[in-house]
Amino acid sequence: MATPDWEAIKAAYQSGVSARSLAARFGVSHTAINKRAKKEGWTVVSTEVSTQPKVSSGNQSGNHGKTSNRKALSKVSTRKKSENSPETKRIPGRPFTAHNTESLKHGAYARRLLLSDDVTIDTLNTELKGELFLVRAGNMLAVTNIGKWTAQMEDATPEEQKNLREQIAAAEKGIMRNIARIESLERSLGALAIMAVTPAKIVADTAYKEAVTAKLTAENQGITTPLTEAIDELQSLNKGGKL
CA distance 79 to 85: 10
Spell out the per-residue pLDDT of the chain, length 243, in tens.
Answer: 567 788 888 888 888 888 888 888 888 887 888 888 888 888 887 654 444 444 444 444 445 555 555 655 555 455 555 555 555 566 555 554 555 566 566 667 777 777 777 887 888 888 889 999 999 999 999 999 999 999 999 888 999 999 999 999 999 999 999 999 999 999 999 998 888 888 887 888 888 888 878 777 776 776 656 666 677 777 777 655 454
**Backbone dihedral angles phi then psi of residue 236, each to the nearest 5 degrees:** -70, -35
Residue 50 falls inside a structural domain: no
Domain range holding 205? 126-237
Residue 52 falls inside a structural domain: no
Residue 242 falls inside a structural domain: no
Residue 19 falls inside a structural domain: yes
Residue 188 falls inside a structural domain: yes
pTM passes above 0.85? no
Render pLDDT for 144-168 as a digit per residue (tens, 0 to 9).
999 999 999 988 899 999 999 999 9
- 36 plus 131 within the same structural domain: no
Render pLDDT for 94-107 as a digit per residue (tens, 0 to 9).
554 555 566 566 66
Q: Is the dihedral of CA 81, 83, 89, 93 positive or negative?
A: negative
Residue 114 falls inside a structural domain: no
CA distance 235 to 226: 15
- 34 plus 132 within the same structural domain: no
Q: Which residues contact 71 (CB under 8 A, 6 or more apart)?
A: none
Q: Which residues contact 63 (CB under 8 A, 6 or more apart)?
A: 55
- 36 plus 132 within the same structural domain: no
- pLDDT value of residue 195: 84
Number of domains in the chain: 2
Residue 226 falls inside a structural domain: yes
- 133 plus 231 within the same structural domain: yes
Residue 133 falls inside a structural domain: yes
